[in-house]
Structure 1
Amino acid sequence: MFTHVMIGSNDLARSRRFYDATFAALGGGPGKTDERGRLIYAHDGGRLMITTPIDGKPATAANGGTIGIAAASPDQVRAWHAAGTAHGGTAIESPPTERPNGSVVAYLRDPDGNKLTARTRATR
């Protein structure tokens, strides 16, 4: 259904440090920069793109929005959370936890305030 998710950033270098670290924790590679200077992360069939807003106004986080990122294991969720908090992210809600459906979930805000979650698939 989706081709990609695009979010805004006010500091692409800061975003690169954060997302390179969190995607490395999930087994992904560093971001690439396209001809417009946008960061592009491709991982497990999905694409996350990060850009400065084209209208020249400050980037703001979506109120009520969350970007979900697939993790292969509970250890990856914990590594993602640790990498994110070590690279400018803010832990929100609770530390990585197992949900009633068996999935392991963690939440962070990136340095620009975008809400992210890494989670494993449900096991029950």
Structure 2
Amino acid sequence: MFTHIMIGSNDLERSRAFYDATFTALGGKLGEKDERGRLIYNHDGGRLMITRPIDGRPATAANGGTIGIAATTADHVRAWHEAGTTHGGTSIETPPYERPNGVFVAYLRDPDGNKLTARTKAA
């Protein structure tokens, strides 16, 4: 259904440090900048793009929005969470944990306040 998700950032280098760390923790690759200066992350068939807002106003996080990122194992989720908190992210909700349905999940806010979750598939 979706081709990509694009979010805004007020500091692309700070975002690059955060997302490079979190995606490599999941076994992904470092982000690349395109000709417009946007950061692009490709992972497991999905694409996340990060840009300064084109209207020149400050980037803000979506109130009520969450971006879900697929992880292969609980260890990947833990590594993603640790990489995120080490690189400017904030742990939110609960520590990484397994839900009753077998999904292992963790939540972070990136340095610009966007809410993210990394999770495994249900067992």
TM-score by length of 2: 1.00
User: What 5-or-longer segments of structure 2 have no aligned partner?
Assistant: none
**1:53 correspondence with 2:53:** yes
Mapping 1:70-81, distance limit 5 Å: 70-81=70-81
Partner residue, 2:101: 101
- Secondary structure of 2:27's partner? coil
Q: Which amino acid aligns with 1:112?
A: D
Aligned-pair identity in percent equals 80
Q: CA deviation at 1:36?
A: 0.3
Alpha-carbon distance in structure 1 between the residues aligned to 2:64 and 2:34: 29
For 1:1-124, list aligned pairs within 5 A: 1-123=1-123
In 2, Cα distance between the equivalents of 1:43 and 1:106? Answer: 18
SS at match of 1:41: strand
Aligned residues: 123
| Aligned AA (2:85) | T
Q: RMSD across aligned C-alpha pairs, in angstroms?
A: 0.3
Runs of 4+ in 1 over 3 A off after TM superposition: none
Query: Which whole-Å CA distance do the structure 1 matches of 2:62 and 2:122 have between them?
Result: 26
